[in-house]
Amino acid sequence: MKKIFFILIVFITINHNNAHANLESFSCENLMTKNKAFILYGKNFAKEEMSPNIWLFFQKIELNNNKLSLISVDDDKPIREWKINLTSGEAILTPMFDPSSNWLCLNKDRQLKMLSDLYKSGALSGYEFEKAKKKLINN
């Protein structure tokens, strides 16, 4: 019985770790309001954390020429749409009832580069850089 339990635990752990292996993530910030969102996406899967533990799933995911389009639909009508330029990080969010807004969406590599550039320019101290880097890597 112990062997079966051990094998089952190992199997679940291995499959759980592989479930998100091919996913990309972005931290997004509204340039005017400083609101934040977190986007997780893969080839056939995308979701947005709009506030802690409140996720919105996207039914349409398109990636063309380094531009990602995510659309959440209800009754065949788009209720929320992201258009993200993966090269620059510039993004436009179009909610159903509100006007479009400009956002900046960066993955961890790009955020680490920005932190490094801020440190090299003297805008961040070594302590601030290491603290922000540790926070970014652990999230």
Asked if pLDDT for residue 128 goes beyond 60, the answer is yes
* Close Cβ partners of 45 (under 8 Å, ≥ 6 residues apart): 23, 61
The pLDDT mean for the chain works out to 80
Dist. CA 123–CA 115, nearest whole Å? 9
pLDDT at 139 (0 to 100): 58
Lowest mean pLDDT among 8-17, 66-75, 81-90, 110-119: 8-17
Quick one: pLDDT band at residue 117, thresholds 50, 70, 90?
A: confident
- 83 versus 134: which is more confidently predicted? 83
Contact 91, 105 (CB under 8 A): yes
Dist. CA 10–CA 5, nearest whole Å? 9
pLDDT digits (tens, 9 = 90+) for 4-33: 444 444 444 444 434 445 678 888 999 899
pLDDT at 62 (0 to 100): 92
Quick one: pLDDT band at residue 86, thresholds 50, 70, 90?
A: confident
- 66 versus 111: which is more confidently predicted? 66
Vertex 125, ends 123 and 129: CA angle to 5°?
Answer: 95
Contact 82, 92 (CB under 8 A): yes
Asked if pLDDT for residue 98 goes beyond 50, the answer is yes
Asked if pLDDT for residue 82 goes beyond 90, the answer is yes
Dist. CA 43–CA 30, nearest whole Å? 25
